[in-house]
Amino acid sequence: MMNDNSFELTLKYSYGKKIKAKGGQFIFIQLPFCKIDEYHPFSILQSLNQDKIIKLGIKKSGDFTDKLANASKGTTVKVKGIYGHFTAPKDNNPVLAIAGGIGITPCISLLQSLSQQRKGYLLWSVSSENDIIFNEEIQTLVQTHPNIKIIYHDTSKHGYLNSKVLKENINELTTNKPIDCFICGPAPMSKSVIHNLESLGVSDNRILSEGFIF
């Protein structure tokens, strides 16, 4: 389920071999009826590499995304990429993914890429319950990855994410292995979360923040 401010877009590549997207990465899109050099980046929600299909979760934020939302089925777009290093290392360390708003998009695909045995938490900060989207993808995630827990943080009821909330989740994830933390959301939120994680003893080489949330 989506809301009025966001939409899901499915792209099918018309040529080439299977794609090799990883959870957490992004692509650039150009529409045929826009400026020739106008490419915009969007995070991957789901990648079906064998079928050459990519699903994107997009927040409406201007003319380009409005045109993209209203594009007819079968419209041909140009794609650059796949790009990005917002991906989980191939180890078995527990993962804490922290999302703000539409920053949920790369976090879902990142967690989907984990092994079923790997422990993970998704802490999603939203302005209200109306901002909770991608219910189907989240349900699939928890069904296929039984060791992943989803936590919704409604800022209208509980205020912004703080060190207390982060500490509770870190303590629950704590094992004899270090925690890998991934953050995607508005810049002020990301900056605050990084500061709080470091104050709680998470080393900076275990914290990765995505720089945009298209």
* Mean pLDDT to the nearest integer, 60-82: 91
Looking at residue 38, what is its pLDDT? 85
Taking residue 21's Cβ as centre, other Cβ atoms within 10 Å add up to 23
- pLDDT at res. 82: 92
Nearest to 56 by CA among 90, 83, 29: 29
pLDDT score for 212: 58
Res 16: pLDDT = 72
> Dihedral of the CA atoms 25, 30, 31, 35 (nearest 10)?
150
What is the CATH code of the structural domain delimited by 95-209?
Answer: 3.40.50.80
If you average pLDDT over every residue of the chain, what do you get? 89
Q: Provide the pLDDT confidence category of residue 210 given band limits of 50, 70 and 90.
A: confident
List the helix and strand counts (H, then E) for the chain.
Answer: 6, 10
- Say how far apart CA 33 and CA 95 lie, in whole Å: 41
> How large is the average pLDDT for residues 139-158?
93
Model confidence band, residue 90 (pLDDT cutoffs 50, 70, 90): confident
| Whether residue 104 has pLDDT greater than 90 | yes
Identify the pLDDT of residue 181: 96
- Measure CA 48 to chain center: 16
What pLDDT digit, counting tens, does each position of 13-64 carry?
987 777 889 999 999 999 887 766 789 999 999 998 888 999 999 998 888 9
Q: How far is CA 112 from the centre of its chain?
A: 10
Q: Which residue has the higher pLDDT, 67 or 49?
A: 67
124 or 168: which leads in pLDDT: 124
The mean per-residue pLDDT over the stretch 194-205 comes to: 93
Domain residue limits, the chain? 6-83, 95-209
**99: pLDDT strictly greater than 70:** yes
Assigned CATH class of 6-83: mainly beta
Share of the chain above pLDDT 70, in %: 95
pLDDT tens, position by position, 151-187: 999 998 998 888 999 998 888 877 778 899 999 999 9
